Chains A and B, each alone.
Chain A
Amino acid sequence: MGTVGRGIPFWAGAAAFLFVYILLFELAERRGKRAHARAALLAAAVGIGASAVITFVFQEFFLVRLP
């Protein structure tokens, strides 16, 4: 949240937030190096994918000027 409105584009802030959030909670629930690597992959995929879709939908379809 602290990044929003301070120069970092919304999509990057959202992707970073999603990545860190999912990674932290998934790491706490998974054991083993492989599981951790899978958690990092999942976090990165969801982070980039979700932030891209949300940014695109709000900016292009709903004409919201995101920070």
Chain B
Amino acid sequence: MEGLVSLAQSLGSFFQPWPILLMLGATLIGILVGAIPGLSATLGIALLTTLTIKMPPNEAILVLVSAYIGAIYGGSRTAILLNIPGTAANAAACLDGYALARQGQAGRAMGIATAGSVAGSLFGILCLALFTPVLGEVALSFGAFEFFWLAVFGVMMSGQVTGEDALKGWIMGFVGLFVAQIGQDGIHAHNRFTFGIADLGGGFSLIPVLVGVFGFAEILTVMKAKASRPHVQTVDSVLPRIGDVLRYWKTMLRSGVIGVYVGILPGVGEDMAAWSSYAAARRASKEREKFGKGSVEGLMAAETGDNASIPGAIIPALALGIPGSAPAAVLLAAMIIHGVRPGPLLMVEQPQFVYDVVAMCLMATIGILFFGLFLIRPLLLVLRIPRNVIMPIIFVLCVVGAYAIAQRLFDVWTMLGFGIAGFLLRQFGYHMAPFVLGLVLGDILDKSLRRGLVLSDGSLEPFFTRPICLVLWLIIALSVLMQIPPTRAAIRSGAGALVRAVGLRGRKR
């Protein structure tokens, strides 16, 4: 009941003319960023963080949340019309969305994407409102030992699930953890790995690094690819059909659950949520043969899953201070810049903020519904802007964005350096999401390890024997062992034998 009152207060404070205007503007920017291939949700939020730095905290976070939800939704336009995912999260939508567009049903496909995105977002928002306070309560019992393993768990999970090679993901995660150690340490302010460079004393700022690896690296990747003038499909009515929604409500519900679950997993982004939802829908479908050839159910599953994962990714960011995805990592950084302290103490110190975020997500969902229904055709014009024009403008924005946070040129060089490194690493199949998570979690990991060692008087025992720690390190150990072929085979045969033995015993009874 108390939660409902808080939510009503938040909704009351945000449903005012100025916040609504801000939300509409930010959602539109998000949709445009998402729709333009090469611009990701992470870059959009990172650049907007620099633009909103002087705004009051609630208005700034409203802008960022709206842009986040708008970007993931906007990416589906490009996926449907051009067969190019606007953001990585929309790759699954290409399969059936573009097939539908080629059958002359582009409008219907966009209607399905809108319905799925709105339904997914609403389901995710419900989970955000219900689970964040609960997870926050549980997290209050976490100590330094548990947070150490949570940080390692986040990096390992993100590394394992992002990309095809878990080892490359883990390498990137640990590189991120290492980069986070550069600069003065958070407890005694000793310089670490600064090599006498004064600018490195504060470490690498998160936003310039993110703008580099998601912005500049992306620009280089896009410009390296062969140029093509997009051919936009003609669009029929974009109004979602009630029949499509009612017929596939089970798929939407399942995809919502999967999306939120994947979103909660640290560093596992919206793209994984879309693919997992798509695969689950395909397995359960009676029309399996239609998948990949214009399946309404497939498109619905993918779009519901990726949008549901957005509030899902915000849950651990608020309750634990551990982001569920790369864009959520930027959002987390922005919250910290604006004086909010996400983590277990958030529900104690600023409980209203959680409901503020719920209200922001709800407003942004209304925003994507509004733009999805009424502003599709003008938005399609953006897709006609040649990349030779849009990419250098984005580059200039990356430079100004990196500079604007602290107004020092060092951040611009940081952005360029990490951008080039990110571009080269991506060419070899190293993904940036685990790196970003490592960068964000590096501070928590370092402080938790050292505080834990102080509390245990130098003993490592509590790190392995406390119940939650035990579960976390066992999962981590198992996930590593599962990547080594001989141990994977042994674990699988052992698990199979166990299942058979349990089954046999059950039957005897």
Contacts and interface: CB of A to CB of B under 8 A. Distances in A.
3 smallest A-B Cβ distances: which pairs?
A: A25-B388, A21-B392, A64-B404
Given A22-B388, A62-B50, 19 more contacts: A5-B409, A10-B400, A17-B396, A18-B393, A21-B388, A21-B392, A25-B388, A29-B227, A29-B388, A46-B389, A54-B396, A54-B397, A62-B51, A63-B54, A64-B403, A64-B407, A65-B407, A66-B403, A67-B403
Contacts of A42: 389
Nearest to B404: A64
Interface string A23-54: 00110010000000000001000100011001
Contacts of A22: 388-389, 392
Nearest to A50: B393
Contact of B396 (A5, A26, A29, A50): A50
Interface in B373-400: 386, 388-389, 392-393, 395-397, 399-400
18 contacts: A4-B399, A4-B412, A14-B396, A17-B396, A21-B392, A25-B223, A25-B388, A54-B400, A58-B404, A62-B53, A62-B54, A62-B404, A64-B400, A64-B403, A64-B407, A65-B407, A66-B403, A67-B403
Interface of A: 1, 4-5, 10, 14, 17-18, 21-22, 25-26, 29, 42, 46, 50-51, 54, 58, 62-67
A29 B386 CA distance: 11
B416 interface: yes
A42 to B, nearest CB: 7
Contacts of A58: 400, 404
Nearest to A63: B54
A4 B412 CA distance: 10
A63 B145 CA distance: 43
A25 B409 CA distance: 27
Contacts of B412: 1, 4
Contacts, number: 55
Interface of B: 50-51, 53-54, 223, 227, 386, 388-389, 392-393, 395-397, 399-400, 403-404, 407, 409, 412, 416
A22 B393 CA distance: 10
Interface of B is mostly: helix
Contact of B399 (A1, A21, A26): A1
A25 B222 CA distance: 13
Interface of A is mostly: helix
A58 B409 CA distance: 16
B227 A18 contact: no
Contact of B393 (A1, A46, A62): A46
A1 B50 CA distance: 19
A18 B53 contact: no
Nearest to A39: B388
A51 B397 CA distance: 10
Contacts of B397: 54
Nearest to A29: B227
Nearest to B386: A26
A46 B392 CA distance: 10
B388 A18 contact: no
A64 B401 CA distance: 10
Contacts of B416: 1
Contacts of A62: 50-51, 53-54, 404
Contacts of A54: 393, 396-397, 400
Among A21, A26, A65: residue with most chain B CB under 10 A? A21
Contacts of A46: 389, 393
A67 B411 CA distance: 13
A12 B163 CA distance: 41
A4 to B, nearest CB: 7
A22 B407 CA distance: 27
A29 B393 CA distance: 19
A10 B396 CA distance: 10
Contacts of B409: 4-5, 67
A65 B400 CA distance: 10
A62 B404 CA distance: 9
Nearest to A42: B389
Contacts of A50: 393, 396
Nearest to B416: A1
Contact of A51 (B396, B404, B407): B396
A35 to B, nearest CB: 13
A66 B400 CA distance: 8
Contacts of B53: 62
Nearest to A18: B392
A15 B27 CA distance: 28
Nearest to A27: B388
A18 to B, nearest CB: 5
A63 B58 CA distance: 19
Contacts of B396: 14, 17-18, 50-51, 54
Among B50, B396, B399, B403: residue with most chain A CB under 10 A? B396
A64 to B, nearest CB: 5
Nearest to A15: B396
A67 to B, nearest CB: 7
